[in-house]
């Protein structure tokens, strides 16, 4: 029988692809077989409707599938009178693991249907939704290798699991009230014999703090409409100002946020990320003090849906952890670490195999700020022509993430945290081993940051030594530029990188952070940069905005203004250290310039309570200031902010509104760096500009820069975080390019 042997590659296992193919074959009158194997899905098919059948494999794929390739060849096949799902072949790491997916519409309706056997059941799922990576212990992905293994299916679930026409066919987390996980509440160390959803909702409505076991870890929750509950949570977590994430049904989000079609689509994706949305109807200021945007996510498990139905109000859902530590995932760990924060616990007995934070994203322009649950372990396609070698890249010290390349794809890990914390470092090392095993990854090279004291760098060198493979050290801002180019699929000769961030070691031994670079994946040269200023106190300068303000004002000849604004602080020792160069490395950081201007406007000048607090407050002011006249900067190989501080000082003296000053600063910064990028493009004969670095998480700055680079091919932030969460992807691309060039 003449037919086709069709190989489907991509994210095609654990997503209902085989029953989809089975149904498609019946619709098109095709006979044959479909099975899973080590490379993906293999179809052998024949029949008059074969051409339409093959075209539909990609065009009509299930919601959670991602088809990278459909490769068909003519084949002589044994006669077959039907189309069947055959037993799976050998498992392999090429098949990928599907990210966790938010509750689908069918399951959400089912838990609210009194006639359904899963009415009110908090662990309802099907092939189109539910946990994946967070319950997986090892490949291949089947029930015995997940944390669902202890729960033996009842006869009714088994029948659904084995029926190709059922949406729960081979859904590994399948469960029901008779055979699956159960939830309960605890208070004062005792398990309560009461409806857990109703009990937790009652606690929340009464203003209590509840620790909730979710998909990838515990949350601390409270009533987002209750100022006293918000203040209590902030006091207990010692978190005075950092914004809280919020969870609510879509109709509630629409009442409190500016919600267009783009934002609605982002919120309702299977990844169900936290999406930063402009405020509309107010909530108490304690949700996100001083911010113009709030982070909203929809309920993404049946437990969350049921809890929000019962609570009837938006809830704060913030990570359940001690400050700086990873999120708690184990029951005993949560009891030990969160009892001081929470008045009660909403628990369940399905174990969490992997810690995954909630992702944080922006809808327009579409941008991932924190790559996490729902996105990982999805892969990114490598730019064409780069070697298909296996590289392990280990990112930076902050917002750490790991990137593994294999077979033309890059797997950029979830957000792992700041490696200054010992427990986060442990999590980083565990993730390295875990992801390598899941992907069957055997590194041929390692890529690390140029900074020798980063824990990720030291780990990368140790791994390379143990494996006997080369190490590629990649300058921080080169990695940012490469990540933006790589996500855009760029494969040219020369591009320009406009990289604005906090800190990164430069090859000259100074600290970079406001850079215009020229080159490609294999190497770059510095074309322009912000005029350096000392970071007095080293790391203290990142936490204390006034330090940056004083050195910048002094350099611009405005020492008297510094005295007026910050005279109550220890200026003399700071100035002495700056002059002597004692613990005061030179830095061209755009992030620290943001801090300096924020401090001049009185925005948390003495100490930031979280990273980026001053810059975020300045962004909020800038957006209120609208389309302001740009402050001037000195242009050239050094972009000098002294003229900007001259104009700022005049505006302060004249009593200009803070939002006008903020907008003029940001407009001036955008104009200066866009001009330098255009000049670099002209000199290098290119029209491609990569925009990266943590400052470009600021959509106001990004919009201002983008407008001034009109007509050029821009590679802006997108699925790869512009902050240090994207460094590892860029490092991997640089390593591959250097391997290619020898």
Report, as residue numbers or ranges, the catalytic residues: 18, 36
* Residue 99 backbone phi and psi in degrees, to 5: -65, 160
> Can you list the positions of beta strands (E) in 1-153?
2-11, 31-37, 40-46, 66-76, 83-85
Q: Is the dihedral of CA 53, 268, 276, 317 positive or negative?
A: negative
Q: 56 CB contacts (<8 Å, ≥6 apart)?
A: 24, 28
Structural tokens at position 150: 């202890």
| CA quadruple 130, 132, 134, 138: dihedral, nearest 10 | 150
Burial class of residue 469 (count of CB atoms within 10 Å of its CB; 0-12, 13-18, 19+): middle
Q: 347 CB contacts (<8 Å, ≥6 apart)?
A: 183, 184, 185, 186, 196, 213, 331
Q: How far apart are CA 721 and CA 697, in angstroms?
A: 8
Distance (Å) of CA 80 to CA 3, 29, 32, 49: 11, 12, 6, 15
Query: Which single residue is written with the structure tokens 């700041």?
Result: 418
Best CA proximity match to 680, nearest among 495, 488, 485: 495
**Strand, helix or coil at 319?**
strand
48: left (phi over 0), alpha (psi -120 to 50) or beta: alpha
Q: How far apart are CA 612 and CA 691, in angstroms?
A: 19
49-87 as b/e, with b when 16 or more CB fall inside 10 Å? Answer: ebeebbebbeeebbebbbbbebebeeeebeebeebebee
Q: How far apart are CA 276 and CA 316, in angstroms?
A: 14
**Strand, helix or coil at 54?**
helix
Q: How far apart are CA 153 and CA 285, in angstroms?
A: 47
- Containing 346, the helix (H) or strand (E) segment is strand 344-348
Q: How far apart are CA 97 and CA 141, in angstroms?
A: 8
DSSP state of 146: B
């Amino acid at each position: 029988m003449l037919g086709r042997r069709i190989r489907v590659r991509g994210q095609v296992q654990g997503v209902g692809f085989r029953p989809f193919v089975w149904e498609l074959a019946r619709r098109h009158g095709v006979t044959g077989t479909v099975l899973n194997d080590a490379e993906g899905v293999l179809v052998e098919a024949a029949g008059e409707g074969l051409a339409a059948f093959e075209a539909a494999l990609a065009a009509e794929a299930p919601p959670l599938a991602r088809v990278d390739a459909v490769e068909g060849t003519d084949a002589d096949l044994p006669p077959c009178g039907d189309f069947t799902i055959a037993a799976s072949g050998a498992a392999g790491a090429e098949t990928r693991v599907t990210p966790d997916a938010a509750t689908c519409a069918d399951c959400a309706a089912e838990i609210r249907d009194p006639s359904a056997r899963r009415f009110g059941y908090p662990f309802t799922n099907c092939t189109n939704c539910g946990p994946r990576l967070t319950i997986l212990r090892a490949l291949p992905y089947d029930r015995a290798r997940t944390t669902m293994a202890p729960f033996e299916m009842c006869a009714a679930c088994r029948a659904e699991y084995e029926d190709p026409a059922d949406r729960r066919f081979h859904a590994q987390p399948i469960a029901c009230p008779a055979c699956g996980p159960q939830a309960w509440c605890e208070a004062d160390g005792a398990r309560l014999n009461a409806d857990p959803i109703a009990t937790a909702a009652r606690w929340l409505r009464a203003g209590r703090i509840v620790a909730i076991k979710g998909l990838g870890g515990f949350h601390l929750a409270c009533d987002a409409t209750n100022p006293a509950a918000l203040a209590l949570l902030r006091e207990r977590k010692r978190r005075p100002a950092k914004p809280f994430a919020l969870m609510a049904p879509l109709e509630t989000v629409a009442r409190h946020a500016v919600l267009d079609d783009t934002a609605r689509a982002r919120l309702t994706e299977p990844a169900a990320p936290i999406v930063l949305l402009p405020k509309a109807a107010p909530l108490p200021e304690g949700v996100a003090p001083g911010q113009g945007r709030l982070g909203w996510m929809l309920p993404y498990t049946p437990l969350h849906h049921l809890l929000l139905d019962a609570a009837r109000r938006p809830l704060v859902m913030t990570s359940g952890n001690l400050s700086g530590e990873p999120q708690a995932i184990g029951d005993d760990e949560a009891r030990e670490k969160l009892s001081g924060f929470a008045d009660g616990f909403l628990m369940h007995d399905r174990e969490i195999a992997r810690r995954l934070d909630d992702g944080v994203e922006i809808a327009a322009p579409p941008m991932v700020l924190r790559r996490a649950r729902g996105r990982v372990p999805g892969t990114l396609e490598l730019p064409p022509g780069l070697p298909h070698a296996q590289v392990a890249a280990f990112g930076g010290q902050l917002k750490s993430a790991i990137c593994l390349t294999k077979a033309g794809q890059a797997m950029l890990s979830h957000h792992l945290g700041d490696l200054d914390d010992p427990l986060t470092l442990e999590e980083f090392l565990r993730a390295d081993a875990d992801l390598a095993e899941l992907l069957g990854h055997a590194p041929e090279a390692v890529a690390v940051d140029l900074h020798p004291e980063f824990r990720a760098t030291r780990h990368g060198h140790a791994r390379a030594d143990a494996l006997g493979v080369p190490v590629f050290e990649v300058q921080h801002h080169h990695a940012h530029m490469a990540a933006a180019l790589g996500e855009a699929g760029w494969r040219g000769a020369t591009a320009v990188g406009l990289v604005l961030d906090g800190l990164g070691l430069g090859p000259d031994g100074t600290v970079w952070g406001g850079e215009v670079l020229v080159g490609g994946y294999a190497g770059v040269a510095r074309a322009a940069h912000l005029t350096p200023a000392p970071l007095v106190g080293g790391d203290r300068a990142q936490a204390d905005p006034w330090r940056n303000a004083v050195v910048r004002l002094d350099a611009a000849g405005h020492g008297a203004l510094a005295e007026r604004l910050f005279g109550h602080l220890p200026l003399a020792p700071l100035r002495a250290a700056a002059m002597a160069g004692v613990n005061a490395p030179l830095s061209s950081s755009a992030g620290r310039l943001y801090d300096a201007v924020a401090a001049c406007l009185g925005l948390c000048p003495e100490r930031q309570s979280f990273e980026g607090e001053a810059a975020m407050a300045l962004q909020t002011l800038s957006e209120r200031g609208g389309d302001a006249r740009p402050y001037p900067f000195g242009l050239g190989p050094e972009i000098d902010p002294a003229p900007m501080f001259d104009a700022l000082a005049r505006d302060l003296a004249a009593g200009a509104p803070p939002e006008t000053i903020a907008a003029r600063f940001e407009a001036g910064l955008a104009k200066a760096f866009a001009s330098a990028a255009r000049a670099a493009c002209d000199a290098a004969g290119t029209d491609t500009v990569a925009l990266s670095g943590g400052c470009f998480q600021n959509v106001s700055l990004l919009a201002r820069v983008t407008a001034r680079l009109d007509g050029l091919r821009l590679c802006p932030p997108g699925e790869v975080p512009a902050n240090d969460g994207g460094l590892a992807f860029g490092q991997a691309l640089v390593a591959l390019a250097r391997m290619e060039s020898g």
